[in-house]
Amino acid sequence: MDTGTAYDRPQPSYRKELTEVGAGTPMGELLRRYWHPVGMSSTFDSTPSKVKALGEDLIAFRDGQGRPGLVYPRCAHRGTTLYYGKVEERGIRCCYHGWLYDVEGHCLEQPCEEGGGARRDRVRQPWYPVEERYGLVFAYLGPPAKKPVLPRYDCLEELAPGESVEADDSSIGSGGPQIVPCNWLQHWENVVDPFHVPVLHGSFSGPQFTAQMGIMPEVTFESTARGVKVISLRTLEDGKVHRRVTEVVIPTLRVVPDPLVQRFQKVESIGWTLPIDDTHYRIYTAGRVTERGALGKIRSRLGGRRWHELTEEEHRQFPGDYEAQTGQGPITFHSEEHLAASDKGIALLRRFLETQLKIVAEGGDPAAVAFDESGAYVRFDAGNYLVDAARAA
Amino acid sequence: MDTGTAYDRPQPSYRKELTEVGAGTPMGELLRRYWHPVGMSSTFDSTPSKVKALGEDLIAFRDGQGRPGLVYPRCAHRGTTLYYGKVEERGIRCCYHGWLYDVEGHCLEQPCEEGGGARRDRVRQPWYPVEERYGLVFAYLGPPAKKPVLPRYDCLEELAPGESVEADDSSIGSGGPQIVPCNWLQHWENVVDPFHVPVLHGSFSGPQFTAQMGIMPEVTFESTARGVKVISLRTLEDGKVHRRVTEVVIPTLRVVPDPLVQRFQKVESIGWTLPIDDTHYRIYTAGRVTERGALGKIRSRLGGRRWHELTEEEHRQFPGDYEAQTGQGPITFHSEEHLAASDKGIALLRRFLETQLKIVAEGGDPAAVAFDESGAYVRFDAGNYLVDAARAA
Amino acid sequence: MDTGTAYDRPQPSYRKELTEVGAGTPMGELLRRYWHPVGMSSTFDSTPSKVKALGEDLIAFRDGQGRPGLVYPRCAHRGTTLYYGKVEERGIRCCYHGWLYDVEGHCLEQPCEEGGGARRDRVRQPWYPVEERYGLVFAYLGPPAKKPVLPRYDCLEELAPGESVEADDSSIGSGGPQIVPCNWLQHWENVVDPFHVPVLHGSFSGPQFTAQMGIMPEVTFESTARGVKVISLRTLEDGKVHRRVTEVVIPTLRVVPDPLVQRFQKVESIGWTLPIDDTHYRIYTAGRVTERGALGKIRSRLGGRRWHELTEEEHRQFPGDYEAQTGQGPITFHSEEHLAASDKGIALLRRFLETQLKIVAEGGDPAAVAFDESGAYVRFDAGNYLVDAARAA
């Protein structure tokens, strides 16, 4: 009799508490204790634009005084979207009856009311605080009493002569388009999975990075105060060892050194794996560069062409991160997984997240939130390093 | 600490009893006590066509004797849609097994049954009564015992020499396409909201109508036996007063005088805001004209171009009724509204509807249904009038 | 007062137990006791392809040794679809971490695990048994203990000199495209409905088959051990009688003689009405031919053109099986049917299915499953025959 057939297999399920990001969900509330990038600085301008983060639709704009604003789309008056609003010196004005709001949602004018609205101070357009840094606009979507300081990251603060920081919103590292139709955690887990590199990016699809990255590494996984660290050692032909350190840092940071290993140095750029909603994510990146536009050149290419320039046939022949991760479905079914020893990074990451969920559920402050500047300076270990065999161990 | 942020806001909701129109819902049953236009006279012809009203899919046709018919799409035999049927002298015939139905759903032939179907009188194709008037076909989708007389309207009955009545199905007044993807009540409420005119159609998008309509009016709202009436006074440069009266009349009538104010006179046309389903509506219009095609010229244009000829960029720069109303979402969230003094017309309209819902729930006949011709003649106050300042008050 | 209107009609419903095919449903479990074609032999090749049957998404491939494989799409490791996998000599390899599975789901390699995966025998990729015959690949999606012998059919086994068997996956007999968006039973019931032929294919749309098929037949319906048989007699001009026998055979077989009646003989081909899911089906066909490609020529045409070459206007003027059956909706509402005497075949078929559902529910083996070759040889009565009037009765 046949064994192991697909007949009568259990209904698959996924771990909602690890994946779903909406307001009020466990992971949604954990993520809402941190700042997230929601656009480039240039996204916030005098034309209102649509932004979606953690399952929330929002409108981004920049008032005439240069202040970025992020507000709930539906006008507090009668619900018309502010997407059709006009940005003015003092804020954004709804097209329907002209109510004007500032970047903190205060209602400044109600032109159809007598005297411009005697009771307009009773109205507040729902808004979120934002801050600009590294060419990005970060928003805090969490409980006001718990708003932490927006962190600074050593790799973006400590610049060598000639270096500057630039930002990118094209989802570098997704292996595909700007908006990726699967759960954010599928991507984030991929960062602590060094073993897929020689298979997916090596033997399967030809060396997508460099020949050296195609070597099966010797790997150590470590839990950190802020997430998980992966150390991959590859012995090179000259006997030296390529020590590559990759990190994931709460809330969604991917701290991945240049996969092309153009230089041995501390990690060049960091990416935020922004959950758009439960089944879509995008990546905002900020990095040190010596010339403008250098960041985008990290993107993987096949024969010089980017993902969207390839045919479906080519995607099937040369699958990459996008195919592997969206190929797990909109939200992967954890009930069907068979994690192995090589998946230790993923196990550590899930354990780290479970711990943080528990802390928040019990009323505490999760890892790496800081309420003063001194605590908000983050130092990474990540980077590509060339070391002697003796020092690598 | 930040106040008024969008964090932890309540789940939004809408008033189902005012908006949803399906069979068996409170508003659906109220609306089903009236006649509604479901097509132009020309819609009903020898080719079956699809019609949707109050959430019901139906098939319209006109038999060889000229009688319009409106039937349930699924053939009573085995459910094949009569959309693929053939219209004949005596009715409509299903393509599958040839059952023939007349405009009242009687089964006239069953060609695959012996003798043409000895028991065919036991079968009835569900149908609705229809009547033609003003170039439109009206249907009654309600309880047969409560079928009222199809009303006549003074502005379409009392014609000056050279005038005739014509109909239009292009949704004049929607500010957009023929089928509008939002709840019908969002549009209907807009009719009793004269204050949006100088903002949305004035300061925001340039004068979409005339310069004079851009003046902020002095407004009086009144409940009527059939709905709500709005009187807007605008003092003109010569000291005379433009007295503009707009009405909404149960079930869905928009009685709006020419917004271009080409002449001072009683309202020229009326529109029915037909709910297609809960999240779509369209407008049928009938009006007095002196030349054919004049009705369609009322449609708003931007630089001579109609809505569908404009780019999305132009819609954003010059939003109109379509953007303001669909911008409230498929069904606006009443739980989030902040109605102000200028919204009195909307408050009166909702109160009027609540009263009618209560009457129907208690087994009574709602406003303006008449069971004899004499009670079914409707006189409007609506119009653009030029009056002396003294008489305007 | 109007009678029989569409007001206040009951909510329609359909018979789930007869129509829905998912795992665990009554009909789904009945159908899972049989083999179903899931692709042409050529579908199974060195490029993985997507297959859907009985609501289940699967991946088809053929390993380097020529063995066809049918597996659950999600890799047992971490869920990446094997659609992006690589087919090798011994099986299919996932793109993400390179786990290799054979056609029975055994995990042969785990390249990221030490030693290629010491515990890989604990992992099994869900799979289904397949067998090739008649140019098709058949799969058994049911309980392993109940796997029957794949049947042989006399009309495909007993070949005249010069005849061979060929297969087709274009859904011959659907009257439309390869994948038809309605429930499979709507099509299958059509096979035991000989009366629609002179209407739908005759008087309605002109003779879609032959003039002779346009004659209203004298029909006898019979239950058989395997399904239902329909005998249609048509007296021809020369006094001879055209005796046409059509069968449906469990699980989904349509045994329909050439509707163009090119020769009087035993049925030339059989079709499997494969339920893709609850609201889509497709037909695989196998038939005796004397020259390659002859099978596809049976497809109905209008003026030489196939269904997808006709305009919507032409489909409306000349509706066929596709329009009649999809026109019943995704799943027809049985609660609204009015079956008549001419629908006896449908009534018999439903009764037959009800009996089989009951047998399976009670733990028995349904009709026509055989566990040895001798019981798995099926003889049909179906065919077009020319007989003397006396012998026809």
Q: How many CB atoms lie within 10 A of CB A365?
A: 14
Could you tell me the strand order of the sheet in which A92-93 lies?
A86-87, A92-93, A100-101, A107-109
pLDDT value at residue C392: 62
> Would an 8 Å CB–CB cutoff place C1 in contact with chain B?
yes
Confidence of residue B294 (pLDDT cuts 50, 70, 90): confident
> Would an 8 Å CB–CB cutoff place A206 in contact with chain C?
no
| Under 8 Å between Cβ of B136 and B40 | yes
Round the average pLDDT of chain A to a whole number and report it: 95
Beta-bridge partners for B101: B92, B107
pLDDT value at residue C296: 81
Task: Name the A residues in 47-66 with CB < 8 Å from any B CB.
Answer: 47, 56, 58
For B84, the token pair is: 């693929």
Q: Is the pLDDT of residue B390 over 80?
A: no
pLDDT value at residue C49: 97
Q: Is the pLDDT of residue A298 over 80?
A: no
pLDDT value at residue B393: 57
Percent of chain A surpassing pLDDT 90:
86
Instruction: Report the range out of A190-199, B169-178, C22-31 with the highest average pLDDT.
Output: C22-31
> Would an 8 Å CB–CB cutoff place A113 in contact with chain B?
yes
CB atoms B126 and C328 under 8 Å? no
pLDDT value at residue A393: 57
**Burial profile B175-193: b = 16 or more Cβ within 10 angstroms, e = fewer:** bbeeebebbbbbbbbbbbb
Partners for B (CB, 8 Å, 3+ pairs)?
A, C
| Under 8 Å between Cβ of B178 and B282 | yes
From the centroid of its chain, how far is CA C289? 20
pLDDT value at residue B314: 92
For B347, the token pair is: 């408050």
Q: Which stretches of chain C drop beneath a pLDDT of 50?
A: none
| Under 8 Å between Cβ of C86 and C92 | yes
pLDDT value at residue B392: 63
Q: Which residues of B touch A147 (CB under 8 A)?
A: 1-2
Q: What mean pLDDT do residues B37-59 have? A: 98
Round the average pLDDT of chain B to a whole number and report it: 95
Report phi then psi at B292, rounded to 5: -55, 140
Report the C-alpha dihedral over residues B40, B44, B48, B51, rounded to 10 degrees.
40
> Would an 8 Å CB–CB cutoff place A197 in contact with chain C?
no
Confidence of residue B306 (pLDDT cuts 50, 70, 90): confident
pLDDT value at residue A262: 87
- The ipTM assigned to this model is 0.95
Confidence of residue B389 (pLDDT cuts 50, 70, 90): confident
In C, minimum Cα distance to B33 occurs at C7
Nearest to B191 by CA among B302, B346, B383, B306: B346
> Would an 8 Å CB–CB cutoff place B199 in contact with chain A?
yes
pTM of this structure: 0.95
DSSP string, B3-43: -SBSTTPPPP---HHHH--STTSHHHHHHTTSEEEEEEGGG
Which stretch of A114-123, B13-22, B151-160, C349-358 has the lowest confidence by average pLDDT? Answer: A114-123
Bridge-based pairing of strands B86-87 and A227-235 is unpaired
Q: Give the model confidence (pLDDT) of A86-109 as tens digits.
A: 999 999 999 999 999 999 999 999
pLDDT value at residue A293: 87
Nearest to B254 by CA among B154, B187, B344: B187
pLDDT value at residue A23: 98
Which stretch of A283-287, B151-155, B200-204, C156-160 has the lowest confidence by average pLDDT? Answer: B200-204
pLDDT value at residue B206: 72
pLDDT value at residue A373: 94
Percent of chain A surpassing pLDDT 70:
98
Rounded Cα distance between B290 and B277, Å, is 34
E strand or H helix that includes residue C28:
helix C26-31
> Would an 8 Å CB–CB cutoff place C143 in contact with chain A?
yes
pLDDT value at residue A159: 96
Beta-bridge partners for A180: A281
Rounded Cα distance between A166 and A154, Å, is 15
Q: Indicate the residue of A95, A119, A124 with minimum beta-carbon distance to B324.
A: A95
Q: Give the model confidence (pLDDT) of C249-281 as tens digits.
A: 999 999 999 988 889 999 999 999 999 999 999
**Between A303 and A78, the higher pLDDT residue:** A78
CB atoms C127 and A199 under 8 Å? no
Which stretch of A281-295, B289-303, C282-296, C378-392 has the lowest confidence by average pLDDT? Answer: B289-303
Q: Indicate the residue of B5, B329, B337 with minimum beta-carbon distance to A144.
A: B5
| Under 8 Å between Cβ of C164 and C288 | yes
Which stretch of A37-41, A263-267, A272-276, C272-276 has the lowest confidence by average pLDDT? Answer: A263-267
Q: Give the model confidence (pLDDT) of A62-80 as tens digits.
A: 999 999 999 999 999 999 9
SS3 for A97?
coil
In total, chain A counts a number of residues equal to 393
CA distance C280 to chain A (A): 21
Task: Name the B residues in 213-232 with CB < 8 Å from any A CB.
Answer: 216
> Would an 8 Å CB–CB cutoff place C84 in contact with chain A?
yes
Q: Which residues of A touch B203 (CB under 8 A)?
A: 98, 111
CA distance A58 to chain B (A): 10
> Would an 8 Å CB–CB cutoff place B83 in contact with chain C?
yes
**Burial profile B15-45: b = 16 or more Cβ within 10 angstroms, e = fewer:** beebbbbebebbbbbbbbbbbbbbbbeebbe
CA distance A256 to chain B (A): 32
